[in-house]
Amino acid sequence: MLRNEHLAPLSRQHQHALALCVRIHRAMQSGELEMLAWQAEIQELFIREIRAHFEAEEREVFPVASRFPELADLTEDLMSEHTLLRDYFALATERAMDPAKLHDFASKLSAHIRKEERQLFESLQRVLSAQDFSELGSSLTKALNETSASCHMPRPTRPAED
């Protein structure tokens, strides 16, 4: 099913995270694991996108979805998965992941994203009216912009070359 335009920003972020998961799995298969580099990249993805992504879903998408009885259990599961995934992101930030935890992280993040895309987003596209989607889209855009702006880290300035 084609993704509704109002969910597209979240789906694009899902694609970024899935690409990371694929790269982790490939590196594990090849035996080339630079654990510190992977953990730094995971931390960077969390700071750059995932933190704001999770907050937007929790503030805007999940409450809308949980209004529908058939989606209430799913949204609870997804919230629990966010908690678990935040723990993995914290491990990466602390540089406390071992290869097994890195594998688990990539598997759990990938499964979580697929659940949101295939179950939650597909269901929302069936049950929400155009007006509901428009309202959700507006609130999602605002939430993503607010949290993104508050999460930007200043970039170091390079001295001018003579």
| Cβ proximity of 24 and 97 under 8 Å | no
Backbone angles phi, psi at 48, to 5 degrees: -75, -40
Which of helix, strand or coil describes residue 134? helix
Tell whether the model's pLDDT for residue 56 goes beyond 90: yes
Q: Whole-prediction pTM value?
A: 0.87
Ordered DSSP codes for 34-101: -HHHHHHHHHHHIIIIIHHHHHHIIIIIHHHHHTSHHHHHHHHHHHHHHHHHHHHHHHHHTT---HHH
Q: Is the pLDDT of residue 118 over 70?
A: yes
Distance CA 117, CA 126 (A): 13
pLDDT tens-place string over residues 70-95: 999 999 999 999 999 999 999 999 99
**pLDDT at position 150 over 50:** no
What is the predicted pLDDT for the residue at 160? Answer: 43
Contacts of 127 (CB under 8 A, 6+ apart): 68, 70, 71
Q: Domain residues of the chain, as ranges?
A: 16-149
Amino acid 147: pLDDT: 62
105 and 93 in contact (C-beta within 8 Å)?
A: no
Tokens representing residue 144 in the block: 């993503």
What value, to the nearest 5°, has the Cα angle with vertex 30 and ends 25 and 36? 70
Give per-residue pLDDT as tens, 13-53.
999 999 999 999 999 999 889 999 999 999 999 999 999 99
- Report residue 1's pLDDT band, with 50, 70 and 90 as the boundaries: low
153 pLDDT more than 80? no
